Amino acid sequence: MRAADGGLPTPFVSGAIEWWSGADAIRHSWSTYSGVNWSPFGKLAEDGVRLRASGGYGEYRYRGWLDGRTETIYGTATFADLLAGYQMGLGALTLKAFAGATFDGHFLSEVDPNNPVAASAKGAKGVLEGWLNITPSAWAQVDLAYATAHASYNSRLRVGYRVVNGVSLGIEGGQFGNEASDNRRLGGFARYDWLGGELSVSGGVSGDIAEPRNPYVPRVYMTKF
């Protein structure tokens, strides 16, 4: 789909199903995730109801204090979301809002009484996503999410510029975490989109409690049909 104000592609095309998959890696953790959006009563490019299912898996490690000594603790994390929402176009701005149920499971190699997320939890989740065509070549994207399970949250802001055809370059930043930690990221990205989807590669610096400065490399591939 091309925006009416100058040809800038948006993340929505004329299909009714949108599938995405990605991976994320930093020094002490990695994860992979996937999901699908469905427009049951129309096209993704139109206003209307949206249904979303997504999930992921990851592994991580951190230094913890156990039995009077510092130990390396290894953990795995899984999540699953089932959400319903609505997409609305307001001129150059497109908004999507979701709410529903989530599962967040963490399993550790050692029992860590100081880690508040060392168990599985279920709860409610809310998501707000926005896409703004600033000019025919410049755009901004914001993603916000919060879940009651382990008080998990995520935020990301991207500002990009379409340099040629479907290639955009830009900067990104955000914060995410849960009851156990808070993480921040700042970096840049390259995005290539075509009629059937997009490929995005980003990198930069991640800071959190366990490792204050780490490079990160998330990659997300999205296809629509």
Backbone dihedral angles phi then psi of residue 150, each to the nearest 5 degrees: 60, 20
pTM value is: 0.86
Number of other residues whose CB lies within 10 A of the CB of residue 20:
19
**pLDDT tens, residue by residue, 119-165:** 899 999 999 999 999 999 999 999 999 999 999 999 999 999 999 98
Residue 195 has pLDDT above 90, yes or no: no
Q: What value does the mean pLDDT take over residues 217-222?
A: 82
> d(Cα 22, Cα 199) in Å, to the nearest integer?
10
Nearby residues of 118 by Cβ (< 8 Å), 6 or more positions away: 75, 106, 107, 108, 111, 112
Nearby residues of 165 by Cβ (< 8 Å), 6 or more positions away: none
The pLDDT, as a whole number, for residue 118 is: 86
What is the residue type of 42? G
Higher pLDDT among residues 216 and 48, named by residue? 48
Q: Is 165 left (phi over 0), alpha (psi -120 to 50) or beta?
A: left
Sorted by where each starts, the structural domains of the chain and their CATH numbers stand as 17-224 (2.40.160.40)
**pLDDT tens, residue by residue, 74-102:** 999 999 999 999 999 999 999 999 999 99
| Confidence category of residue 175, pLDDT binned at 50, 70, 90 | very high
The pLDDT, as a whole number, for residue 200 is: 94
